[in-house]
Structure 1
Amino acid sequence: MRERRKLFSLFSVIFLFSSTLADDVIMNKLAASLSPTPSDWSGSNHCKWTGVNCDSSGRVSSINLASKSLSGTLPTDLNHLTQLKTLSLQSNQISGALPSLANLTNLQEVYLNNNNFTSIPPSFLSALTSLQTLSISENPSLAPWSIPEDLAQSGSLVTFYASKASIVGSIPDFFDSFPNLQSLRLSYNNLTGTLPSSIAGSEIQNLWLNNQDMGLSGSIDVLQTMTQLSQVWLHANGFSGPIPDLSKCTSLFDLQLRDNRFTGVVPPSLTSLPLLVNVTLQNNKLQGPFPDFPTGLQVNLGTTNSFCNTKPGPCDSQVTALLEVAGALSYPLILAESWEGNDPCKGWSFITCQGSNVTVINFGKQKFTGTISPAIANLTSLRNLFLNDNNISGPIPDSLIGLSQLKALDVSNNNLTGKIPDFSSGVTLKTAGNPLLGINLTVGGGGNSGSDSNSTSASGNPSGKTNTNSGSTGMIAGTVIAVVVFMGVVAFVFYKCYTKKRLQKFGRVQSPPNGKEATKKGIVGTVNGYGGISELQSQSSGYNSDLQVFEGGNVAISFQVLRQVTDNFSEDNILGRGGFGVVYKGELLDGTQIAVKRMESGAMGTKGMNEFQAEIAVLTKVRHRHLVALLGFCTNGNERLLVYEYMPEGTLSQHLFDRNENGYPPLTWKQRVTIALDVARGVEYLHSLAQSSFIHRDLKPSNILLGDDMRAKVADFGLVKNAPDGKYSVETRLAGTFGYLAPEYAATGRVTTKVDVYAFGVVLMELITGRKALDETMPEDRSHLVTWFRRVLINKDNIGKAIDSTLNPDDETYGNICKVAELAGHCTAREPSQRPDMGHAVNILGPLVEQWKPSCHREEDSFSTDHMSLPQIMQRWQADEGTSTMVDDLYNSRTQSSIPAKPSGFPNTFDSLDCR
């Protein structure tokens, strides 16, 4: 036995050595194929190369070469790095064929976006069973390829980005394979066909399918059941038919449907969705009443739609009836193109009038589908109705009997069913070519089962025998219907149970047993199977009226709890004051620390609950590793309170300017430039959201969400944080302090994203000099940091004298400081047009930080979000360095849910992942 163990150990060592040797070969090939080769990619120990991490056995676990200005190609046998978990090569100029990633069962994240790859092998995504994020967007040189069915093997997929990647063909119908998929981005490709039916049962929150070359087509009815949807971009396609009822999509805040072929009436639900802040409907052929959207909602209706009026209000009664008729036929485009205005007797195709009354509808031979609407009976002057030679199904409505002036009804050659109404003898009725129309059910062996529907009198009675067992027939029909309904219910229950088991298999958060309340010392909630809180109430019945419950899984906290944990909002617990109120430190009974922003009732004025609800929805959608998490909210009369995760190490200004009083050591340059990069990435993310136009409100202080004015979310709410060590709530104070005001804002109040760029430049100057933006203790010519620092930049030899004396930089660090100083100068240019975008700041600062520490880069594009909490990020980095064994269980159990996990400690109090 001992010999066997020795032999097994020997084989293990040999296998490990051979595997490590294989990694050496592949990494050397990779180094040789890239140009320029990273400067320190030499020597035999590839685990020490910049951007390369290895596990404890020396196997390569991650490769991060993002934004390195690299060209060249990738080795074809890259998938021999069998322990690879993360591959980050985004934002380079790498070209050639992509290597197959098949059978990399440990691979979790792939970032290949923004390169020049030319082709994708057929087995590219085979057997990637651990894959969670795949980003291959912005590769316009790729040869046409289709989404492979192999992707269905990646059951843990959360994010799939493949916009502008030359994808052709249809979208595979395999979305029941992805119980955790949240973001699907396939914009700017050449996808065709309809939306797959399986997408209706998915957990997708962000759906981007816009701008296909030829255009996706068909209806979008599958969206009706996707209750978790938050952002839908379907513009610039060929979708048609009516906009479906989206009343169940209560989390939807951005809906882009412009530049399609939608017809019909805008559903009332679209004007009452509680969180909707942006909708575009231009360049369609919508009809009916002018939609009455609420004030403050950004809407673009354009000029091509065919609403009956130019402002909200009912249409003419005949127009309303005809639109119902068209609706039963799924609003054919041919009708929408000519049915304009509020008078059907003025040029409406297929309609004939006498005076101002509709007398003839002629839809014959138009290939219409759908049913016959009972609303035809509202056209009381109708004489002739021609519906022949179409594909219309269902019954002939009994209401048509009431048309006293009806002379002719032709429904021949359709698929109509049911009995024929008893029309008067004065109506000429044609029903031939409807084999199931007028057939009666019989009971018994020898009874006549039907009659010739082609031989029908004006009374509607078949010429054959009538059914003498109508009562029994009705009973049979009722029984059949009951059985069908019962089987449908059974099938639905089975489906839900099956789905639940699949979700449990992939680690989705489960509900407490027997629906028990998830509660901990003052906060009570019943958690549903998707990790969202469906019912919340205060533990104290006396405060139930203070608690507001909104759909969407946001955590509502009673005012009593917040008053208790802040010691009745004690002055001793004040963390800071802003333009919207005071921020207090609080500590829950389980020891969890929180920051509570109590917005003053005067500042809020009469702002309604819908406004506050929309703001809560926005804050919970804005997720990024450099933004502080919103954990909950509360209303108390006119007061509104927001609860954020607490940054325990204070603010950046305390570390820079008040370190002696607080006992903080001086910040190193490495720490400072890392903070600057984090601020830049956080603000860039918010700017990208604003530029996508999905959130834009009036610029009145009570209404600010996001958009051009970032003060409320970056400065006033202090969202930006320093993620790598989690210490600083970075006070950018973009418009709250005189020293940060851009000239155009200080003089005219004009607010754009360039105001934030200016403020960011001031933050850079503070980090470089260790001086406050406005210091009245300094001489007048030095008190205003920007003015003084601009003079320093005139002669770069003076920069050394302006650097914070605690830095004491070496030559290399000094060179980096000069680069940041130059960036600060550009950011604070007097003219907004001369200031760079925040993306430029990220590009400048990124390489400076990456010189010191390899990190796991995520895609930092317009829609990038980080679905991990700060403690998870820290544990993951530790795991990459081989210092933690907890990460796999934590990461797999938490990040697979549809909502990001909470910060450490919150599971004891907020038992819902939605509070993150």
Structure 2
Amino acid sequence: MGPFHCGQAFTFAISECVQQFLLRKGACGAFKLSKSTGNFLNATIPAEFGSISSLQSLDVSRNNLSGELPDFSAGWIHLRSLSLSSNSFSGSLLPQLLELTTLEFLDLSENNISGTIPSFIGSFSSLRILNLAGNKFLGEIPSSIGGLLALQVLDLRGQNLSGSIPEEFTGLSNLQDLVLAGNSLTGSIPPAFSNLVSLKVLDLQGNRLTGNIPLNLGTLEGLTVLSLSNNLLYGNIPTSIGQCSNLIVFEATGNELNGSIPMEIGKLEKLEKLELGFNSLTGSMPPQLCNCTVLQTLDLEANHLTGEIPSNIGQLKNLQELIVKENSLNGSIPSEIGDLKKLLTLDLSMNNLTGTIPTSLENISCLTQLNLSGNQLGGAIPEGLGSRFNASSFARNAFLCGASLNVSCPRSRKGGLGKQVFISVVVVSVAVGIISVSVLTCIALHFGGNKGVRTSVVQYEQKIVMFYSPITYANVLEATGQFDEEHVLSRTRYGIMFKACLQDGTVFSIMKLPEGGVEETAFRQEAEMLGRVKHRNLAVLRGYYIAGDVKLLVYDYMANGSLAALLQEAAQQGGHALNWPMRHLIALGVARGLSFLHSQCNPPIVHGDVKPTNVYFDADFEAHLSDFGLERLSTVETIPGERDGDPSSSSTTPVGSTGYVSPEASLTGQVSRESDVYSFGIVLLELLTGQRPVMFNEQEENIVKWVKRQLQTGQMDELFDPSLMELDADSTEWEEFLLAVKVALLCTAPDPVDRPSMTEVVFMLEGCRAVGDHPSSSDPASQPSPSQVECNVEGMEGS
């Protein structure tokens, strides 16, 4: 029989479930009570388990179990698999575990287990999987592990382990994954690792390893991941790397490597990520690198590279990130870069590049981050780039001109002035004609380009982990008045947002999450993941903090409040404060951000609460969708005083917010990408009509039914915001408007199957406007830190 599963959505005492299992113990040798099956426990493992001699498999992972590790080894004489991962177990590994002689799978990862890893762990001769990652082990790695000849996976990442890598590991001929990242290991990488003929993953990043990269690693033909970043390795990159024919990831960022980049890397036909930044590499970029045609990330930042960017770089058709900033490259920017249609990030800053900016770069519709600053480029900035990216993308190029730099280009020979583009905060020029641009070529965002935490600052032994500029917890306390009510910006279902104005004039938004929720290691992992989610229409997570019950998230400050406040202001002025071009671009921005979450994040992120109070505007009135991905960081509950534009309202809906929740989500309590599409459709209807969904009686009529009824009776003047009725019926804007109505009704179809995807929504909304037409040229996701703004504290709840 299969494993025994305690009932779905199990919430009662674990002992009751154990009793159910004991009644069936003769028929079943496997017990599974993982959160992945819908359970979430807050208890300890009862002693009754010790009497189950028939037990072969025990899985209670991803719950909130606590206390000392269980000591039931005397009864578990047949146990082969034990998973206690992602709980809150503490204490040390007990010698009684020695009785588990048949153990093949042991996963104790993501707990609070401490002490040293005992040498008796090497007695489990049948062990194939050993995962102790994410605990608090210290001391040296026991050499006895090298005697586990059946071992296939060894994961000890994220500990306080020290000492060197045991030479005995070189005898583990069946080892496939060796992950020792995030420790304090010293010494060198054993040259005899070439004996690990089955090795596929070697992850040693984030230690203090020294010496050379072993010359004979090239004999590991099955190696797919080689991660050596953030150590103290020196010397040359061995040419033998080119023999690892199955290598997919090669990371060696943040070491002291020198010499040239081996041209032999160009033989790695399966290579998807190459990161060699922050070393002392010299020579040129080998043209042979462009033979790695499936490459997605090429990061050579902060080295001493010279020469030109290879002209055959256009061969890298799958490239998503090209980062060669802070080198000494010269020559011009190859126009062939414009052939990289999947490129998301292009950073050539701080080099000696000359010539003009190729107009072919305008053809990269997926490009969200561009930095060409700090070179010697000249001529006019292509208009398609100048309108999409702000001045910082082109700064410190003395010979460049264009509207984004506020520098007029010289007169042409015919006496005409160069074109100057002015972007208004409210009124945006409309591109005439219908330009259909497919966004389906924009593929999933590759997360590997983010280097994780750049800086950690310690003050009073408390850290704010920032991805860019460092601040301290003490800075935050001072900037928020000890989280004083005066500094509150808004209250959401996940926490309270505070305005934090630092002494240097920099302003952040700090979300303070409720007590409880996930434990520290899981919080850090989720926050690191969210820190890598970057899009111009998404709120940018700049850093995080966790200590005890205090959990903080650091965001860019949005100076122009929320869409809810803007709609309220427009309603008070008859709609004229928000014209159609602005409404259209707001809808398009939210759609783009949501589409990115759904289709370009891995795994996809379901927002679950799309509404106007979660759409914010930066200083240039660019829309940013916020509050995504937070359900795994916090215990989701209604925060007292949560507002949806109504000071007296308090959401009691289990998922999303009243009026924006899809019919199926209301019934099942489960959100999905389809329910996000429905919520977006409601927001779009609110933009079109100026009517708030909570104004309708859900039992009798909602905003969708009301809109359909008004359309059927032809009462257009009563249906849409008055300012929209002033549009010229023969104009492109009127076509856009009618299309938006159709999109909103498609998104709010009762059956989820009938709703379009957000990618299709973006495609439809872009049908009447050029892709590059944005209300501003700002792109906060590409900026290292927020701008300095006015620091007057204003109460902005609900805005």
TM over 0.5: no
Q: TM-score range by the shorter chain?
A: 0.3 to 0.5
Normalising by structure 2, we get a TM-score of 0.42
Which has the greater radius of gyration?
Answer: 1
